[in-house]
Amino acid sequence: MAQWDVYENPSPRSRDELPYFVEVQSNLLARLPTRFVVPLAPRTAEQGLPKRMSPQFDIAGRKLLLVPQEAGPIEARNLRRPVATLRAQSHLIVDALDSVVSGV
Return the CATH number at 21.
2.30.30.110
Looking at residue 52, its pLDDT comes to 87
Please count the structural domains in the chain: 1
Residues (pLDDT < 50) of the chain are none
Q: Can you give the residue range of the structural domain that contains 45?
A: 5-102
Q: Please, what's the b/e burial string for 42-55 (b: 16 or more CB within 10 A of its CB; e: otherwise)? A: eeebeeebeeebbb
* Reported pTM: 0.92
Q: Do 69 and 100 meet the contact criterion of CB atoms below 8 Å apart? A: yes
